[in-house]
């Protein structure tokens, strides 16, 4: 047994001396051998955080998030690094799901926006405050309401409603598609509303913005442009135009 231990000791000593006497090029490769391990640590996958929520019909987003809303049973999952996830608050307030950030908002300051995937059986309203980016697959109901303030972006891929009420204040952008029997759209500030993918039976449009409004209308459109932002109406409606701002209608124009 003692001889075996002595042999092992001599072997380790010989290996150590061999490494020490190895060419300098081989020893220089040692950091390169460790590099893949460091890469695997740095490339650790994003974490997720799940929230238990009840049925909701409205969504309110306050803070620097990326939010995707899809049809399905009520649920919410946040993705990101630990710092980002620690800043996420998801809670129910009546029929409204509120997504907000922590008091320090370190994730937003560092530019690493937490990403949330939210599912809802029936979404009828969205309120967006701040710099969030929100994408909604579909909204259904007799009345759909959209209220956006700040620098964020709101995209609704498919709307089916009798009455659409949309308002934008700030420098954000709103993109709408689908159909509405009646649409009431208001634009304030410097943001833009692109509803060229939305067809409304009748529309009431007001712009007090340097941004633009675009929409497709079938029957009647009443437009008021009070600032430098333009209003563009496609389709063949009868358009009643008011105000000094730029307006265009591809249907019949009546100025008052």
Q: What is the pLDDT at residue 59? A: 99
Q: What is the pLDDT at residue 102? A: 66
Mark residue 228 as left, alpha or beta (left: phi above 0; alpha: psi -120 to 50; beta: remaining): alpha
Q: Residue 97: which CATH number?
A: 2.160.20.120
Q: How many independent structural domains does the chain possess?
A: 2
Taking the C-alpha atoms of residue 138 and residue 209, their distance in angstroms, rounded to an integer, is: 27
- Domain holding 12, by residue range, is 2-40
Distances (CA, A) of 37 to 19, 47, 87, 142: 22, 20, 30, 56
* Residues 36 and 108 both lie in one domain: no
* Residues 56 and 12 both lie in one domain: no
Spatial contact of 56 and 95, defined as CB atoms under 8 Å apart: yes
* Residues 29 and 70 both lie in one domain: no
* Residues 76 and 28 both lie in one domain: no
Q: What is the pLDDT at residue 86? A: 83
52 CB burial (10 A radius; 0-12, 13-18, 19+): exposed
14 CB burial (10 A radius; 0-12, 13-18, 19+): exposed
Q: What is the pLDDT at residue 81? A: 86
* Residues 32 and 117 both lie in one domain: no
Torsional sign, CA 209, 210, 214, 217: positive
* Residues 162 and 52 both lie in one domain: yes
The pLDDT tens digits of the residues spanning 82-124 come to 887 888 999 999 999 999 986 545 444 555 678 999 999 999 9
* Residues 72 and 178 both lie in one domain: yes
Taking the C-alpha atoms of residue 64 and residue 109, their distance in angstroms, rounded to an integer, is: 9
Spatial contact of 150 and 131, defined as CB atoms under 8 Å apart: yes
State if pTM tops 0.85. Answer: no
pLDDT (tens place) for every residue of the chain, 256 residues total: 434 444 444 444 443 444 445 455 544 555 444 444 444 434 445 689 999 999 999 999 998 899 999 999 999 999 988 887 888 999 999 999 999 986 545 444 555 678 999 999 999 999 999 999 999 999 999 999 999 999 999 999 999 999 999 999 999 999 999 999 999 999 998 999 999 999 999 999 999 999 999 999 999 999 999 999 999 999 999 999 999 999 999 999 987 6
* Residues 171 and 239 both lie in one domain: yes
* Residues 35 and 61 both lie in one domain: no
* Residues 69 and 19 both lie in one domain: no
Angle (nearest 5°) at CA 140 between 134 and 144: 70
* Residues 61 and 112 both lie in one domain: yes
First to last CA, the chain: 109
Sole residue written with tokens 């530019």 = 111
* Residues 136 and 33 both lie in one domain: no
């Amino acid at each position: 047994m003692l001889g075996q231990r002595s042999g092992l000791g001599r072997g380790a000593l010989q290996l150590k001396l061999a490494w020490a006497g190895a060419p300098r090029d081989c020893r220089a490769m040692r950091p390169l051998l460790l590099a893949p391990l460091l890469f695997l640590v740095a490339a650790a996958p994003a974490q997720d955080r799940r929230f238990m929520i009840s049925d909701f019909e409205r969504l309110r987003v306050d803070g620097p998030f990326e939010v995707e809303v899809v049809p399905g049973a009520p649920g919410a999952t946040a993705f990101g690094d630990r710092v980002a996830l620690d800043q996420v608050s998801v809670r129910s307030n009546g029929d409204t799901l509120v997504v907000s950030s922590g008091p320090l908002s370190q994730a937003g300051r560092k530019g690493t926006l937490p990403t949330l995937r939210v599912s809802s059986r029936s979404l009828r309203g969205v309120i967006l405050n701040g710099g969030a980016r929100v994408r909604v697959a579909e909204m259904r109901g007799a009345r759909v309401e959209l209220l956006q303030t700040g620098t964020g972006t709101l995209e609704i891929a498919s709307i089916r409603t009798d009455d659409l009420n949309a308002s934008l204040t700030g420098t954000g952008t709103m993109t709408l598609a689908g159909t509405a029997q009646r649409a009431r759209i208001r634009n304030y500030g410097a943001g833009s509303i692109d509803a060229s993918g939305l067809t409304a039976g009748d529309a009431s449009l007001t712009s007090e913005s340097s941004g633009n409004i675009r929409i497709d209308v079938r029957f009647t459109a009443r437009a008021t442009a009070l600032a430098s932002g333009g209003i563009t109406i496609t389709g063949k409606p009868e358009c009643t135009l008011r105000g000094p701002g730029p307006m265009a209608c591809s249907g019949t124009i009546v100025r008052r």
